[in-house]
Amino acid sequence: MQKRSIYVLGSINIDLVVYAERFPENGETIFGKEFFINQGGKGANQAVASKKSGGNATFIGRVGTDIFANMAINSLKDFGVGHFVTKDENSQTGIALINVDNSGENRITIIEGANGKFGEDELNFLTSHLKKDDLLLLQGEIHIDKNLKATQIAKKVGAYVIFDPAPVKSEFTELISYVDYITPNEIELRTLTTSNDPYELLNKGAKNVILKLGEKGVRFINKETDFVVKSFKVEAIDTTGAGDTFNGSFATALSKGYEIEDALKFANAASAISVTRKGAAVSSPIYEEIIKFLEAHK
């Protein structure tokens, strides 16, 4: 039985994705191999990953009134994600331009659009629905003041906050002491602390640090413990959205009552599966796939 709901307050984009042998040099034009359009945005990606991995997920966000708006909303419906999405008449829907090379690495440019116009409507919805012991996922693609207000709403009702500080900004240090889990990669760690030492996040008030180490796995740190959960070896095709798949499925595991190490293994497995497929939200696995993968990789 699902015990805890998951709310994801964040960005929703339409991804315009190009696959090519390599990234072009400055001033160079090259031929690509493939192009497709799908739903993206770190918030929406995490909500989809959470839903597909077995979580009771609801996405809260904003789109414009352009041709991409209904495409973004209908994608959430197709994945079965509960959602509260407002339409901003003065904005365009967020866009991400994504280049992917032969090794699966990506380069991404984001136009925030309506994601930058978050207002009281979204926060009021969160206030009226978030309950004690629920989980709230936040990311760096909406403005910090809205994230701060969201953490205050969560703390008031006794909900737990997972914060993905990406795309990273130094100002996110203001959020560190308000969240229960912070999930930076090594680059984001250096921006937040000006060091390579994750214990600096604890010094800044972090309760639990989940340091993403790429192919090495993840390192979990708090005042009582420090351990690494290794990643699974797979052949990567496209790493776009892998971090979002990790966060969304980690929230699902916590909502199901998993102990922290098992929750991290579950999230690592989901992320490993996702990089063997193209796309962001579309690449995240369903619960049964994750369990089968874990059984096969004992």
As a whole number, mean pLDDT of residues 140-168 equals 96
Model confidence at 293, in pLDDT bands (50, 70, 90)? Answer: very high
Q: How many domains does the chain have?
A: 1
The values of phi and psi at residue 297, to 5°, are -115, 30
Instruction: Look at residue 173 and tell me if it is in a domain.
Output: yes
Instruction: Look at residue 107 and tell me if it is in a domain.
Output: no
Whole-number pLDDT of residue 19? 92
Residue 74, domain CATH: 3.40.1190.20
Q: Which residues fall within 8 angstroms of residue 288, CB to CB, at 6 or more apart?
A: none
Instruction: Look at residue 234 and tell me if it is in a domain.
Output: yes
List beta partners, residue 85: 61
Instruction: Look at residue 258 and tell me if it is in a domain.
Output: yes
As a whole number, mean pLDDT of residues 1-18 equals 88
The values of phi and psi at residue 264, to 5°, are -70, -40
Instruction: Look at residue 57 and tell me if it is in a domain.
Output: yes
As a whole number, mean pLDDT of residues 36-55 equals 94
Helix (H) or strand (E) holding 232: none
Residue 140 has pLDDT above 70, yes or no: yes
Q: What is the pLDDT of residues 166-198, one digit of tens each?
A: 999 999 999 999 999 999 999 999 999 999 999
Q: What is the pLDDT of residues 233-273, one digit of tens each?
A: 998 888 778 999 999 999 999 999 999 999 999 999 999 99
Whole-number pLDDT of residue 236? 86
Whole-number pLDDT of residue 61? 97
Instruction: Look at residue 97 and tell me if it is in a domain.
Output: no
- How many angstroms separate the CA atoms of 147 and 8, rounded? 11
Percent of all residues in the chain with a pLDDT value above 70, rounded to a whole number = 99
Q: Output the average pLDDT for the chain.
A: 94
Domain range holding 251? 6-12+40-92+115-296
Q: Please tell me which residue, 106 or 57, carries the higher pLDDT value.
A: 57
- Evaluate if pTM is beyond 0.85: yes
- Residues carrying an active site annotation: 244
Instruction: Look at residue 34 and tell me if it is in a domain.
Output: no
Q: What is the pLDDT of residues 218-227, one digit of tens each?
A: 999 999 999 9
Whole-number pLDDT of residue 262? 98
Q: What is the pLDDT of residues 97-127, one digit of tens each?
A: 989 898 888 898 989 999 999 889 999 999 9
- How many angstroms separate the CA atoms of 205 and 294, rounded? 33
Helix (H) or strand (E) holding 226: strand 226-229
> Which is nearest to 286 in space by CA: 87, 55, 132?
55
Instruction: Look at residue 32 and tell me if it is in a domain.
Output: no
